[in-house]
C-alpha cells in the first residue's frame, strides 16, 4: 500500500445511488493529457465527483494548482493497485500506458468487484470478457457492463469511417492517419518533440499497429493502417480507402452514413471534407469527404476527431454515463 493511503475497504456490491446522489470516481494516471481532460469533464459533471486522483510525479500536490477547472481541495496521491481498489469509489478509470492495467484490475476484481472499471489502454480491447465501449457501434450491449475497454483514438476514427459500408466491402481497407503529437503521451520521444516535428511528418509502426489489429478484430475484416504524427498538438485526420463489392453513387453512400449517424449527438456527417483544425477541442467526430472512383467501386472517406476527447476522455465519459444509467451525453459540452 502507498505511504499515507487510507486503509482499503472491501466493497462487494455497489452502493445504492439515488437519482441525484453523487457518483464517486477514482482516476489512476491523472498527470497525462487524457487524465487532465477527464478531470475537466468530471469537475463540471452534475453527478460524478472525484474521489481521488493518483499520480506518482505529483504526489501531494493540489489538484487545483494544475487543473483550474477543479475548485476543491483534493490532492494527488500515489496509490498502488491495492490501495486504489480499496478506496470505495463507484468507478475507477485507468489512464495508464499499455501493459500497466492488470494489477489494478486484479485488485478491483478481488476487493471491489462491483466497481465500474474503464480502461483507456489497449490491455483489454481484445478480451471478450470486457465490453468494448464505442457507443455509436456497441451501445446495445452496454447495459450492466462493469469492465469497459475504451477504444483507441485512431481505432475510433477508423471504425466511424468504415462501419456504414461494412457489408459491401471487397478486400482490405487502407487507412492513412495523421495525429497531433499529444497522442504520443508525455514521456519524451521523437514523436512528441516539437523541434523534430517542425516542418515534418513522421511515419511510425507502418504494419501491425495495435489499432490496426483492434479494428480488424472488431469489424471482422482486414484493415491496413499507416499512422503518422505531425507538428500540431491534438486532433486526428483519418483517410480510409474502401473497395466496394458493387458500384455505388454518392447519394447512396451519403444515405448510409446519415442512416448510421444522423441521430448521433457525437458523430457529425458533413458534405465537406473534415479538417483537423476544426475538430481540436471538440467532443464529436466528423465524417465526410465522400469521393467515389469513376466506376463507383472505390470510396474514399475522411474522419476527424480530437484524440484526447472523442478519442479518449469524452468517450470514457460516454461509457461511464451508460454504465450508471445516466443520459449518455450528460456532462459533455455541445
Check whether residue 294 and residue 173 sit in a common domain. yes
Can you give the pLDDT at residue 22? 96
Can you give the pLDDT at residue 18? 60
Check whether residue 111 and residue 168 sit in a common domain. no
Other beta carbons within 10 angstroms of residue 12's beta carbon come to 8
Other beta carbons within 10 angstroms of residue 290's beta carbon come to 19
pTM of the model: 0.92
- Read off the DSSP letter of residue 292: E
3: β partners: none
Can you give the pLDDT at residue 14? 45
Check whether residue 111 and residue 160 sit in a common domain. no
Check whether residue 157 and residue 301 sit in a common domain. yes
For residue 6, is it within any domain?
Answer: no
Which domain CATH number covers 47? 3.40.50.720
Cα separation, 111 vs 296, in Å, equals: 56
For residue 71, is it within any domain?
Answer: yes
Cα separation, 319 vs 330, in Å, equals: 11
Check whether residue 118 and residue 237 sit in a common domain. no
Cα separation, 29 vs 41, in Å, equals: 15
Tens of pLDDT, residue by residue, the chain (334 residues) = 444 444 334 444 444 456 679 999 999 999 999 999 999 999 999 999 999 999 999 999 999 999 999 988 999 999 999 999 999 999 999 999 999 999 999 999 999 999 999 999 999 999 999 999 999 999 999 999 999 999 999 999 999 999 999 999 999 999 999 999 998 777 777 888 888 889 999 999 999 999 999 999 999 999 999 999 999 999 999 999 999 999 999 999 999 999 999 999 999 999 999 999 999 999 999 999 999 999 999 999 999 999 999 999 999 999 999 999 999 999 999 8
Cα separation, 127 vs 323, in Å, equals: 18
Could you confirm whether 175 is annotated as catalytic? Answer: no
Can you give the pLDDT at residue 17? 57
User: How many domains does one find in the chain?
Assistant: 2
Characterize the bridge pairing of strands 91-94 and 76-77.
unpaired
Check whether residue 293 and residue 158 sit in a common domain. yes
Cα separation, 228 vs 273, in Å, equals: 19
From the list 153, 157, 184, 317, the catalytic residue is 153
- The closest alpha carbon to 28, from 109, 82, 64, belongs to 82
For residue 178, is it within any domain?
Answer: yes
For residue 295, is it within any domain?
Answer: yes
Domain containing residue 177: 153-307
Three-state DSSP state, 38: helix
For residue 80, is it within any domain?
Answer: yes
Check whether residue 98 and residue 169 sit in a common domain. no
132: β partners: 149
Can you give the pLDDT at residue 195? 85
Check whether residue 276 and residue 181 sit in a common domain. yes
Can you give the pLDDT at residue 10? 42
Task: State the DSSP string of 122-183.
Answer: STTTT-TTSEE--HHHHGGG-TT--EEEPPPHHHHHHHHHHGGGGGGB-SPEEEEEEE-GGG
Q: Give every CB contact of residue 16 below 8 A, 6+ residues apart in sequence.
A: none
Amino acid at each position: 500500500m502507498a505511504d499515507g493511503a487510507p486503509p482499503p475497504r472491501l466493497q462487494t456490491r455497489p452502493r445504492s445511488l439515488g437519482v441525484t446522489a453523487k457518483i464517486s470516481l477514482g482516476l489512476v494516471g491523472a498527470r497525462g493529457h487524457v487524465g487532465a481532460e477527464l478531470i475537466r469533464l468530471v469537475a463540471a459533471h452534475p453527478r460524478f465527483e472525484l474521489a481521488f486522483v493518483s499520480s506518482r510525479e505529483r504526489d501531494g500536490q493540489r489538484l487545483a494548482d494544475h487543473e483550474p477547472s477543479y475548485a476543491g481541495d483534493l490532492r494527488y496521491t500515489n496509490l498502488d493497485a491495492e490501495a486504489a481498489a480499496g478506496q470505495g469509489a463507484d468507478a475507477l478509470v485507468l489512464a495508464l500506458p499499455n501493459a500497466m492495467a492488470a494489477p489494478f484490475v486484479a485488485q478491483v476484481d478481488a476487493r471491489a468487484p462491483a466497481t465500474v472499471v474503464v480502461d483507456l489502454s489497449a490491455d483489454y480491447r481484445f478480451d471478450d470478457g470486457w465490453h468494448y465501449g464505442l457507443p455509436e457501434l456497441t451501445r446495445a450491449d452496454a447495459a450492466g457492463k462493469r469492465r469497459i475497454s475504451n477504444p483507441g483514438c485512431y481505432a475510433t476514427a477508423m471504425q466511424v469511417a468504415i462501419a456504414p459500408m461494412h457489408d459491401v466491402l471487397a478486400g482490405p481497407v487502407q487507412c492513412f492517419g495523421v495525429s497531433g503529437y499529444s497522442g504520443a503521451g508525455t514521456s519524451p520521444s521523437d514523436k512528441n518533440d516539437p523541434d523534430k516535428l517542425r516542418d515534418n511528418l513522421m511515419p511510425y509502426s507502418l504494419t501491425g499497429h495495435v489499432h490496426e489489429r483492434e479494428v480488424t478484430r472488431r469489424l471482422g475484416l482486414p484493415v491496413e493502417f499507416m499512422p503518422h504524427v505531425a507538428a500540431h498538438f491534438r486532433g486526428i485526420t483519418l483517410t480510409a480507402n474502401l473497395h466496394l463489392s458493387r458500384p455505388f453513387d454518392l447519394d447512396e453512400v451519403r444515405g448510409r452514413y446519415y442512416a448510421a449517424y444522423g441521430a448521433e449527438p457525437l458523430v457529425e456527417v458533413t458534405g465537406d471534407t473534415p479538417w483537423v483544425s476544426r475538430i481540436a477541442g471538440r467532443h464529436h467526430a466528423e465524417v465526410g469527404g465522400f469521393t467515389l472512383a469513376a466506376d463507383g467501386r472505390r470510396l474514399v472517406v475522411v474522419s476527424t476527431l480530437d484524440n484526447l476527447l472523442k478519442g479518449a476522455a469524452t468517450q470514457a465519459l460516454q461509457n461511464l454515463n451508460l454504465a450508471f444509467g445516466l443520459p449518455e451525453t450528460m456532462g459533455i459540452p455541445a
